[in-house]
Amino acid sequence: MRVCRQVDEFREACDATRRGGGSVGLVPTMGALHGGHLALVEEARRQSSDVAVSIFVNPTQFGPNEDLARYPRDLEGDLGKCEQAGAALVFAPAIDEMYPAEEHTRVHVASLTEHLCGASRPGHFEGVTTIVAKLFAVTGSCTAVFGRKDYQQLKVIERMVRDLLLPVRVVGYPIVRETDGLALSSRNLYLSADERQSALSIPRALSGAVARFSAGERSVLALREPVVAAIDAAGLRVDYATLADADEIAPLSDRVADRALFAVAAFAGKTRLIDNVVLGEDPAPISA
Which residue out of 34, 37, 108, 124 is catalytically annotated?
Answer: 37
Which of 106, 237, 255, 270 touches a second copy by CB under 8 A? Answer: 106
Residue 118 or 181 with smaller CB distance to a second copy: 118
Q: With CB under 8 A as the contact rule, which of the stretches 24-32, 101-109, 189-197, 263-271 interacts with a second copy?
A: 101-109
Which of 26, 85, 87, 133 touches a second copy by CB under 8 A? Answer: 133
* Binding flag, residue 98, a second copy (CB under 8 A): yes
* Binding flag, residue 207, a second copy (CB under 8 A): no
**Beta strands 168-173; 142-147: pairing state:** parallel
Residue 1 or 107 with smaller CB distance to a second copy: 107
**Phi, psi angles (nearest 5°) of residue 202:** -70, -60
* Binding flag, residue 21, a second copy (CB under 8 A): no
- 168: which strand partners? 142
Q: With CB under 8 A as the contact rule, which of the stretches 77-85, 94-102, 116-124, 188-196 interacts with a second copy?
A: 94-102
* Binding flag, residue 160, a second copy (CB under 8 A): yes
* Binding flag, residue 40, a second copy (CB under 8 A): no
* Binding flag, residue 108, a second copy (CB under 8 A): yes
Gap between the Cα atoms of 64 and 56, Å rounded = 18
CA of 256: how far to CAs of 101, 212, 218, 259, in Å?
47, 12, 5, 7
By CB atoms closer than 10 A (0-12, 13-18, 19+), residue 19 is exposed
Gap between the Cα atoms of 163 and 243, Å rounded = 25
Gap between the Cα atoms of 205 and 275, Å rounded = 11
Give the closest residue to 125 by CA, choosing from 165, 163, 156, 168. Answer: 156
Min. distance of Cβ 27 from a second copy in angstroms?
A: 18
Residue 85 or 138 with smaller CB distance to a second copy: 138
Min. distance of Cβ 124 from a second copy in angstroms?
A: 16
Active site residue 124: no
Gap between the Cα atoms of 180 and 203, Å rounded = 9
Instruction: Give me the torsion for CA of 246, 40, 271, 97, rounded to 10°.
Output: -110
Task: Give the HSE-up count for residue 47: Cα atoms under 13 Å, Cβ half-sphere.
Answer: 23
**Phi, psi angles (nearest 5°) of residue 239:** -85, -55
SS3 181: coil
* Binding flag, residue 128, a second copy (CB under 8 A): no
Min. distance of Cβ 160 from a second copy in angstroms?
A: 5
Q: With CB under 8 A as the contact rule, which of the stretches 98-106, 170-178, 212-220, 270-278 interacts with a second copy?
A: 98-106
Question: Which residues are known catalytic residues?
Answer: 37
Binding site for a second copy (CB under 8 A): 7, 11, 98, 100, 102-112, 129-130, 133-134, 137-138, 140-141, 159-160, 162-167, 248
